[in-house]
Chains A and B, each alone.
Chain A
Amino acid sequence: QKEVEQNSGPLSVPEGAIASLNCTYSDRGSQSFFWYRQYSGKSPELIMFIYSNGDKEDGRFTAQLNKASQYVSLLIRDSQPSDSATYLCAVNGQGGSEKLVFGKGTKLTVNP
């Protein structure tokens, strides 16, 4: 079983819509969960992190964590063409290890 799984997409949404990105992870000992955005030809950029069950909001972004279901999601409200990128879910290793394990990413396209 892969450690961190994401739908590869592509996910296509119209401008102004809500984009929903999902991620599941296998290690129940994981404690920290991250969403990175990577534009084509660029390096990943941290946009959200979450540690506790529930929702965490930052501007148009909301991260949701459900440890019982081993599920993390990212919602992007009022999607903009500039949000078009690959979104990477990352989970830290067992026991709070500094090692970050990444999913392969979901490619999001926001159509004007």
Chain B
Amino acid sequence: KAGVTQTPRYLIKTRGQQVTLSCSPISGHRSVSWYQQTPGQGLQFLFEYFSETQRNKGNFPGRFSGRQFSNSRSEMNVSTLELGDSALYLCASSAYGNYGYTFGSGTRLTVV
């Protein structure tokens, strides 16, 4: 069974640009969550989607957005990149959230 696939693995962007990250969940998993991980703040929740609907949202500015498609694949977008957006972005999927999430390998975003 394939795991959670995130693309790209690494990304370097310039301040002010925008970026789109992609996540393909485990087959059959309908819940997809996104997290930002930095050394100082740890894992911080961005948002969670289920059946194309955003069910939960974290405390991030509106520059961070996401969506989920009918096949459960999800994308997140960050516009007007700032240096502080440099982080590891992790996607996680679950058949049902209370049984825990499986994480993808992450996308390492560096903003210069």
Partner-B contacts on A (CB < 8 A): 31-32, 34, 42-46, 49, 51, 88, 92-93, 96-105
Contacts and interface: CB of A to CB of B under 8 A. Distances in A.
A44 B43 contact: yes
A88 B45 contact: no
Interface of B is mostly: strand
A32 B45 contact: no
B74 to A, nearest CB: 14
B75 interface: no
Interface in B55-112: 55-56, 58, 90, 92, 94, 97-106
A92 B105 contact: no
Given A31-B98, A32-B98, A102 B42 contact: yes
A44 B98 contact: no
Which one of A43, A51, A88, A101 has the greatest number of beta carbons of chain B within 10 Å?
A43
Nearest to A49: B100
Identify whether the interface residues of A are mostly helix, strand, loop, or mixed. Answer: loop
Contacts of A99: 33, 45, 48, 56, 58
A88 B62 CA distance: 27
Nearest to B97: A98
Given A88-B43, A93-B56, A99-B48, A46 B100 contact: yes
B43 A92 contact: no
Given A43-B103, A43-B106, A44-B90, A98 B50 contact: yes
